[in-house]
Structure 1
């Protein structure tokens, strides 16, 4: 029993140290420093409040990227009894706005704090340096810092599998790709997809379109733009369209479903998303990116007192990316299940090297 008490005390000391830098901030904005110090035993290695995520463009409800992050937050909340916060971005915000948001979460004692999206890069570098006892996570970007975990994914690998599916499913030998914004991150999706299509059936043509040059122009948050781009590709005979466009992707899915053609979703398993239920029969599959799993892994590491730091890559090998097979139609397409399994194995064992550009 004495041993347990000792452990309990040292755990509390650790927590107290973790929140010391926050206590001053908390008193400044009306909190009390004593609360934080006398944390209960379900909590360790950091501040009392648990997990906070700050969303990227498109916010919650995109049925894709941001919602995948939210699922990780929900899991951590359920398992660890964490207090959680999830904060929406504002229209046309600056880095300064992001700095303010992350600083406010750190002052309130949240730990870890996750910026969902590469746009948080500059702000996180600045804020993490000021709060060395708090663990930060950033999705889709690498930020240097002793207390920052850069949560990056092999989107090109999942996209390769999506390309295999598109090449097997097409009847017109024309497929489409709609990217939200013309940036290196989305080029990874396009490069993997094209390579997967070509390796499976070199006769299949890929039509590609990016919705905007910058995120500020709404490439990830404009379903109408997604819909128009997909309609243009469908007019050119595409009968499978893959989108990597965040909230804009809903327009792509709507366009394909309306014309009874295949759409391929992204990030979350979009076949299972409630908001897209009326189109689900036309969502052949989705290139999965387990942002939720990454958010959860960071939360768990902080809970266990061994916070993840540095670049953490989630690829096919660790199931960090993948391809959904929940639509029963998937299994009915001749040779598709086998082709995907074979490609997956070859990527994992290094026989297939998937391009990123």
Structure 2
């Protein structure tokens, strides 16, 4: 081998070494999926897709957006939302969020459950999360988040059972489902626990976005003698609160503290801390964590549900002390609140 050829080979070797060294950080070994999760400390991009109630529903969509806004402020997360006007928008909106190259896509509400599951199955490199949905077999790129809504519903039911002056209260539901069952039967159990003689009216609007129907249902309940009506009906519940204001009766809000909608007529609210759940998962993502393939459960113990902090405006202090005792009994497992018809039938008041 000539000296010239030897020098040429050495130079080529150095060039190849430099090329490999510079490229190794930008490639993924063949056959191994690239980890798209943001490294700890890096920025994250999160978009939520609302259900038909929209981002300003004064309920769980709005609470979710408030959680994302807090993530933006505290964590530097880039956030956005896409509103769904109709259930037929869910698939297209999830695809739009996917095209925008988000680190995490949220679906807000169980009505989106099937669509977000299919999206997660079809796009295994994309991370998803959904509020109010649990699956028997959750994909590794999807987190389900559920709330023990029966717990705060029991507490506001107890308050209603103790504070009613007519011996009649009401419940207005959105659409019948396992999620709304928790509010419904939890409320019934709380009323029963407070006073078994109180009558509870129940009616479903079959819609989460019909303010006029919510108002009509609640107005009829008030005319029939109810003086307190609790709703778990999304934006439809705005009509329940309007009716309470017009009839000078009490409404009980849901999902977030709804006292701002009628400060003198919202007695309390059964809060489901969707904002906390959304914020916590954004924080985990930002720190390089993701609990994919799991269902996260939020109850009183996890600070995921509660009654509104403004309850002390209208609820007597001694009654709120009783509520605090009930909370602790639930946390300790001494009171197990029913969440559907079967568990309600088995619920015993001692």
Shared fold (TM-score, shorter chain, > 0.5): yes
How many positions carry a matched residue from both structures?
311
Q: Could you state the TM-score of these two structures normalised by the residue count of structure 1?
A: 0.82
User: Is 2:120 the partner of 1:120?
Assistant: no
> Which residue does the alignment assign to 2:7?
none
Aligned counterpart in structure 2 of residue 281 of structure 1, from 264, 287, 309: 264
SS of the residue 1:221 aligns to: coil
**Superposed counterparts of 1:59-138, under 5 Å:** 59-91=54-86, 93-94=87-88, 97-138=89-130
Could you report, residue by residue, the CA deviation over 1:102-150 in whole angstroms, capped at 9, with x for unpaired residues? Answer: 2321232112110001122112122212332332101111141101110
Deviation at 1:338, TM superposition (A): 1.5
For structure 2, which runs of at least 5 residues remain unmatched after alignment? Answer: 1-23, 341-350
Could you report, residue by residue, the CA deviation over 1:292-334 in whole angstroms, capped at 9, with x for unpaired residues? Answer: 1111111111111111221100011111011013144334x26
C-alpha distance in 2 between matches for 1:40 and 1:334: 48
> Which residue does the alignment assign to 2:343?
none
C-alpha distance in 1 between matches for 2:214 and 2:25: 51
SS of the residue 1:335 aligns to: helix
Aligned counterpart in structure 1 of residue 173 of structure 2, from 176, 179, 190: 179
Could you report, residue by residue, the CA deviation over 1:147-168 in whole angstroms, capped at 9, with x for unpaired residues? Answer: 1110100011110011011112
Deviation at 1:194, TM superposition (A): 0.5
Deviation at 1:12, TM superposition (A): 8.8
Deviation at 1:186, TM superposition (A): 1.0
CA contact (8 A) 1:18 1:134 kept: no
SS of the residue 2:130 aligns to: strand
SS of the residue 1:17 aligns to: coil
C-alpha distance in 1 between matches for 2:50 and 2:59: 12
> Which residue does the alignment assign to 1:150?
144
Deviation at 1:99, TM superposition (A): 2.7
SS of the residue 1:202 aligns to: coil
CA contact (8 A) 2:241 2:266 kept: yes
- 136 and 345 in structure 1: CA distance in 2 versus 1, 3 angstrom threshold: same
> Which residue does the alignment assign to 1:352?
335
> Which residue does the alignment assign to 2:217?
229
SS of the residue 2:173 aligns to: strand
- 108 and 232 in structure 1: CA distance in 2 versus 1, 3 angstrom threshold: same
C-alpha distance in 2 between matches for 1:13 and 1:263: 58
User: Is 2:156 the partner of 1:162?
Assistant: yes
Aligned counterpart in structure 2 of residue 200 of structure 1, from 170, 194, 198: 194
CA contact (8 A) 1:42 1:80 kept: no
User: Highest CA radius of gyration, 1 or 2?
Assistant: 2
CA contact (8 A) 2:53 2:85 kept: no
> Which residue does the alignment assign to 2:303?
319
CA contact (8 A) 2:36 2:103 kept: no
> Which residue does the alignment assign to 2:287?
304
CA contact (8 A) 1:99 1:126 kept: no
Q: Could you state the TM-score of these two structures normalised by the residue count of structure 2?
A: 0.83
SS of the residue 2:34 aligns to: helix
Could you report, residue by residue, the CA deviation over 1:53-104 in whole angstroms, capped at 9, with x for unpaired residues? Answer: 000111011111110010111011112222211000033x33xx42332232
C-alpha distance in 1 between matches for 2:65 and 2:159: 28
For structure 1, which runs of at least 5 residues remain unmatched after alignment? Answer: 1-9, 21-38, 213-218
SS of the residue 2:309 aligns to: coil
C-alpha distance in 2 between matches for 1:334 and 1:157: 20
C-alpha distance in 2 between matches for 1:302 and 1:12: 22
- CA RMSD of superposed structures (Å): 2.4
C-alpha distance in 1 between matches for 2:25 and 2:234: 41
